[in-house]
Chain A
């Protein structure tokens, strides 16, 4: 079971070795990155398929709550498989000279895998920092002035966010005396007070910088429009979800049934309003996707703020959907950049890309039977079941936002399908490599449509498992550390 640690160690090691490998053999340096990612994917998938019930692993022999622990359940393993898969899809295969970007991507892969697998807050914090550093480098990787400026902005706010998150973690430590998530969960009753909830708020806001949570997402439009599309795809698709994952882990384990849900809900609603309205007004395709991504993340947050399994299912569905759709859309901006009003003729020069755009847009809007519809349906049902005025407000906002979304996405589609100037038409031609990557995203979605029933069962299983707080606590504490079982069972009575 310990071999899953390779998913963290291997990419990190390769990332640091890459400069050395590159100096001795350029082809080897180009080759090794994808190879490592394939290996990670293989490991993660094997675990994902064989895992019957959640498992905790104590690394280095120190048992929790003292040592470093990994928590393997179907959600973390699913994310751990998605990370290398996304990296493989968005890997800079065409890059022939440098190794910087490859190095940073591997760093990101290692950090991200560590983040999703970690079972204690301190490690999560460390891996989160690792991801941040890698993403700063990646955002500025195309070395344009705009990218540097945007990245600086990103860096400042990210740094401030980190300080807040660290304060929050510190507060939790003062209240519970532990940073192991399961242990925190055991002592959750000590966090249901102003200090504990403040800690949660600080962590949400701090980590939320990466999760594009309103209103700490001011960097999003700048960075996504300045960075290269692959990186925007990665940041919007993957990194934001990692941050969300941290928040929901904390929510499920330590704050179930508390006021913490409200702050997520409110921030989510505001995020939807802000993101969708700004997207509606934006004149630039990249910025439009960036704002729309803020809105979508708002929906994800709203979904997770619904208590119980219903919220977890809807949230994971929304999250996975956005994770596939948004990278596909961002990849289209590789060639289709600049003002939307000048996109005329784009469909003529790359018909397939135009069809893919419409396909993604329809799923984003939630047209049945595309995956986005099912995610939205789950969300609507969840919100109505929660049935308090605030949740119904969220529902109204969600539905109105969909109308706005329809307008700006279809407006763009119409522009793409309209006639353009001859000179520009050449410019809109997508490269065939890029098109095939985007098609993979579309094929994933088509596959989802055709395997809906088994996937829905799997999703329900994942959601049930990851929203089960007692299971999380038991997995880490009672399974790996029999000595603690005596006081544990006493305390468990209280938590249950």
Chain B
């Protein structure tokens, strides 16, 4: 038994234990303990993150003559590390006081832990896949276990989960068709055979395979136009579950796209395929789909008044950055795309947990019902602050590094329009994360929240650890870049030259240690000036005035409703819900057709059909 066997076994055990012991009071802590064992196992395999040799699982089978096997390489390890880390943080958060509170309100914390454990196990199976068949099996298993996680909350969440699984099945079927085509071409599901015939594929084959795989897998990523399901489904999942889903679940699509399209088929050819009557290559088309995904979903996020939905919509947009990075294929861009997966997971998990902490205390995620919590929950505020700086991609947090790499690569590769598109996306991100932190933590505290305290340590600990990671890997991105380079090597992409502080490249270098140093010395000077001045005077939050008039305690000076009214005045007319409309008209078409089929069954005697078919087929053969 090697380390991969051990990892998969522990993961299976975690799922079994949490599944069987759902009702037990301590199950949360037991699951968290088992997750930390998984974390130890992935650390033991750490050499993979630094270019170590591929680890093969001892089990391999042959089904219908197709050999199936599992193995871990640098890319799998990178994704597995994020998966287990996110699960561990979510599990600890959900184990203590949160679980008791959740149970008190009719929830099933044990089921939540089980669902997360099952998700981790199935994702590890996917990440460990050693051929296309196991890849598909892992993909489907992970998809369906996500469904379980989304259903845990019950009620409205079930309908969103249903919508998810319909989209996901659509994607899986596209992938299945793609696998069928590959099997037809190679006669097997082995990675090596696909890689071997990849150079001889015709243009049509490459384009159809790319469309099937990018959109088939991309549905999980929420790629436009299949993005509608994700935000609702993730947001309605109970807090820690949403943190896990948001951090890593949809990124499995990137793993699959990277393996099938980049590693095996080789994206390079897509660059040379021109789309007729346009000036775009086929890869440009995919890049633009990703860029539009960023812009549309980010600006949809801006309009959300539910903190969870705001974050969930951002999750879709951030996926667009990652996809752009990976599709760019150059050392800088692909490093940025891969690194963004890690960075994003850390701050998105932290943010979802912070929002869950706020919900835990206030019972609401409505951004119009909150405010001023910074005085009551300062540590949660700190976590959210670090998180949103990361999400917005501003130094010194890690989100800046990965976005910088992607921007840089877009410019170096000569794609200024795409660069502008991604910057517009980032602008939307900055606006909406400001809305998030302002409406939650800044401004005036509401009367009903006067008595609120900081959340307990079991919840704070994972949030603070995650924020530390966000900061440390922003300060020293080289820590993550080592793993990214190992993943790049596994994919066969040229690797980026890096050091502890950042990137060393002919097209521009980045040293975060230096940048952070300058930034913090600036803060230091500011603080010196601030504290060396006069003594500060504490003002009560209700002691303020507007337009020269004092405000009474009944008139709150905290505007949340219609937050970006001015901006919406200019861009509001662009929100047309076109995709909602598209989706509902598709449903209407199916409904109409099915009505027609049922009418045919009901209104005529079957004998009539017998006669018609007999006549027609006789005509076909004899006529």
Question: Across the interface, do B162 and A414 meet the contact criterion of CB distance under 8 Å?
Answer: yes
Q: Does A468 contact B (CB under 8 A)?
A: no
Which among B151, B597, B600, B610 is the interface contact of A164 at CB below 8 angstroms?
B610
Interface segment out of the listed B47-55, B62-70, B458-466, B491-499: B62-70
Assess whether B166 is in contact with A407, with CB atoms less than 8 Å apart. yes
Q: Mark B586-613, 1 if CB is under 8 A from A, else 0.
A: 0000110111011011001111011011
CB proximity to B under 8 Å, residues A363-422: 365, 367-369, 373-374, 376-378, 380-381, 383-385, 387, 395-396, 399-400, 402-404, 406-407, 410-411, 414, 417-418
Contacts of B166 in A (CB 8 A): 403, 406-407, 410
Number of interface residues of A (CB under 8 A): 66
- Is B574 interfacial (CB 8 A cutoff)? no
Task: Enumerate chain B residues within 8 angstroms of A376, measured Cβ to Cβ.
Answer: 176
Contacts of A200 in B (CB 8 A): 621
Q: What residues of chain B lie closer than 8 Å to A385, measured between beta carbons?
A: 184
Inter-chain contacts of A369 with B (CB < 8 A): 137
The answer on a CB contact under 8 Å between A281 and B594 is yes
B64:A281 contact, CB within 8 angstroms: no
Q: Given the complex of chains A and B, what is the CA–CA distance between A263 and B620 in angstroms?
A: 9
| Cβ–Cβ contact B593 & A399, under 8 A | no
Determine, out of A17-25, A48-56, A124-132, A217-225, the stretch whose residues face the partner at the interface.
A217-225
A157 with B610, Cβ < 8 A, contacts A381-B180, A403-B173 known? yes
* A452 adjacent to chain B (CB < 8 Å): yes
User: Are B622 and A153 in contact, CB atoms less than 8 angstroms apart?
Assistant: no
B162 touches A407 (CB 8 A): yes
Smallest CB–CB gap between A115 and chain B, Å? 21
Q: Does A42 contact B (CB under 8 A)?
A: no
Of the candidates A278, A395, A417, the one whose C-beta lies within 8 Å of that of B601 is: A278
**CB atoms of A410 and B165 under 8 A apart:** yes
CB distance from A77 to the nearest CB of B (A): 22
Question: A133 near B: Cβ within 8 Å?
Answer: no
Cα–Cα, bound, A71→B142 (Å):
46
Residues of chain A in range 435-486 having any CB-CB distance to chain B below 8 Å: 452-453, 456, 460
| B281 interface residue per 8 A CB criterion | no
Q: What CA separation (Å) do A280 and B601 show in the bound complex?
A: 14
Interface residues of A in 333-371 (CB under 8 A from B): 362, 365, 367-369
A141 partner residues in chain B, CB cutoff 8 A: none
Residue from B137, B173, B604 within 8 A of A218 (CB atoms): B604
Q: Which residue of B lies closest to A260 (CB)?
A: B621
A282 within 8 A of B: yes
Q: Are B598 and A218 in contact (CB under 8 A)?
A: no
Q: A218 near B621 (CB under 8 angstroms)?
A: no
Residue B177, interface by CB 8 Å: yes
A357 shortest CB reach to chain B, Å: 15
Rounded to whole angstroms, the CA-CA distance of A232 and B299 in the bound complex is 53
Closest CB in chain A relative to B251 CB, distance in Å: 21
Q: Is B183's beta carbon under 8 Å from chain A?
A: yes
B169 in contact with A456 (CB, 8 Å): no
Q: Is B181's CB under 8 angstroms from A384's CB?
A: yes
> Quick check: is B25 within 8 A (CB to CB) of the other chain?
no
B568: Cβ under 8 A from any A Cβ: no
Given contacts A209-B610, A365-B169, contact A383 B180 (CB under 8 A): yes
Q: Is the CB of B606 within 8 A of A278?
A: no
Q: How far is the CA of A362 from the CA of B220 in the complex (A)?
A: 19
Query: What is the CA–CA distance of A384 and B205 in the complex, to the nearest angstrom?
Result: 13
In the bound complex, do residue A453 and residue B604 qualify as a contact, i.e. CB atoms below 8 Å apart? no
The answer to whether B622 touches A205 (Cβ under 8 A) is no
Does chain B have a CB within 8 A of A242?
A: no
Known A280-B590, A380-B177; contact A218-B620, beta-carbon cutoff 8 A:
no
Are the C-beta atoms of B63 and A456 separated by less than 8 Å? yes
Considering the chains assembled together, what is the distance between the CA atoms of A198 and B618 in angstroms? 5
Fill in one digit per residue for B138-179: 1 if any A CB lies within 8 Å of its CB, else 0. Answer: 001100100100010010001101100110011001101101
B136 touches A198 (CB 8 A): no
Q: How far is the CB of B2 from chain A (nearest CB, A)?
A: 23
Residue of B nearest to A282 (CB): B598
B contact residues around A202 at 8 Å (CB): 614, 617-618
CB of A175 to closest CB in B, whole Å: 13
Q: Determine which of B180, B606, B620 lies in contact with A153 in the assembled complex, contact meaning CB atoms within 8 Å.
A: B606
Total of A-B residue pairs, C-beta within 8 Å: 157
Chain B residues lying within 8 Å of A281, measured Cβ to Cβ, are 591, 594-595, 597-598
Query: Does A161 make an interface contact (CB < 8 A)?
Result: yes
A205 and B610 within 8 A (CB): yes
Residues of chain B from 278 to 296 with CB closer than 8 A to chain A in the complex: none
Contact residues in A for B170 (Cβ distance below 8 Å): 403
Q: Does chain B have a CB within 8 A of A215? A: yes
In the assembled complex, A277 has its CB within 8 A of some CB on chain B = yes
Residues of B within 8 A of A380 (CB): 176-177, 179-180
Q: Are A156 and B614 in contact (CB under 8 A)?
A: no
CB within 8 Å for A205 and B140 given contacts A259-B621, A281-B598, A453-B63: no
**Cβ of A61 < 8 Å from any Cβ of B?**
no
- Bound: A399/B180 CA distance, A: 12
Give every chain A residue within 8 A of B161 (Cβ-Cβ): 414
Query: Which residues of chain A come closer than 8 Å to B151, judged between CB atoms?
Result: 414, 417
Chain A residues, CB < 8 A from B65: 456, 460
Partner pick for A453 among B62, B607, B614, CB 8 A cutoff: B62
Q: How far is the CA of A199 from the CA of B174 in the complex (A)?
A: 38
Q: Which residue of A lies closest to B614 (CB)?
A: A205
- Contact in complex: A218, B614 (CB < 8 Å): no
B61 contacts chain A at the CB level, 8 A cutoff: yes
The answer, among A205, A403, A410, for a CB contact under 8 Å with B613, is: A205
Judge if A274 is at the interface, Cβ distance under 8 Å. Answer: yes
Nearest chain-A residue to B173 (Cβ)?
A: A399
- Contact: B597 with A201, CB < 8 Å? no
Q: Check: A68 CB closer than 8 A to any chain B CB.
A: no
Hey, which chain B residues are within 8 Å of A418, CB to CB?
A: 154, 158
CB distance from A407 to the nearest CB of B (A): 5
* Contacts known (A219-B606, A383-B180); A277 close to B593, Cβ less than 8 A: yes
The answer to whether A278 and B594 have CB atoms under 8 Å apart is yes
**Which residues of B have CB within 8 Å of A195?**
622
Asked if A274 contacts B597 (CB within 8 A), the reply is: yes
A263–B610 touching, CB < 8 Å: no
Query: Is A60 an interface position by the 8 A CB rule?
Result: no
Q: How far is the CB of B129 from chain A (nearest CB, A)?
A: 12
In angstroms, Cα B613 to Cα A164, docked, is 11
Interface pair B597/A157, CB less than 8 Å apart: no
Q: Which residue of A lies closest to B616 (CB)?
A: A201
Give the chain B neighbours of A194 by CB distance below 8 A. 621-622
Decide if A395 touches B610 in the complex (CB within 8 Å): no
A216 CB within 8 Å of chain B: yes
- A389 nearest CB across to chain B (Å): 14
Smallest distance from the beta carbon of B500 to chain A beta carbons, Å?
43
Q: A16–B498 Cα gap in the complex (Å)? A: 87
Q: Do A201 and B618 form a contact, CB below 8 Å, given A161-B610, A216-B609, A403-B169?
A: yes
> Using Cβ atoms and an 8 Å threshold, which residues of chain B touch A160?
607, 610
Q: Are B606 and A399 in contact (CB under 8 A)?
A: no
Q: How far apart are the CA atoms of A225 and B355 in the complex, in Å?
A: 50
A376 to B165, CA, bound (A): 18
Scan residues 5-31 of chain A and give those whose CB is less than 8 A from a CB of chain B. none
Q: Is A236 in contact with chain B by the CB < 8 A criterion? A: no
Instruction: Write the nearest CB–CB distance from A354 to chain B, whole angstroms.
Output: 13
Q: Which residue of A lies closest to B143 (CB)?
A: A367
- Check A216 against B610 for contact (C-beta < 8 Å): yes
Q: In the docked arrangement, what's the CA distance between A399 and B590, Å?
A: 15
Question: Quick check: is A273 within 8 A (CB to CB) of the other chain?
Answer: yes
A396 to B601, CA, bound (A): 24
Known contacts A202-B618, A278-B598, A381-B183; 7 further A-B pairs (Cβ under 8 A) = A277-B593, A380-B176, A384-B184, A387-B184, A410-B147, A453-B62, A460-B64
Interchain residue pairs with CB less than 8 A apart (16): A202-B617, A205-B614, A215-B606, A215-B612, A216-B609, A218-B609, A274-B597, A274-B601, A281-B594, A381-B183, A384-B183, A402-B169, A406-B169, A407-B162, A414-B158, A414-B161
10 pairs of A and B residues whose beta carbons are closest in the complex: A218-B606, A399-B173, A201-B617, A215-B609, A277-B594, A197-B621, A281-B594, A194-B622, A384-B180, A368-B137
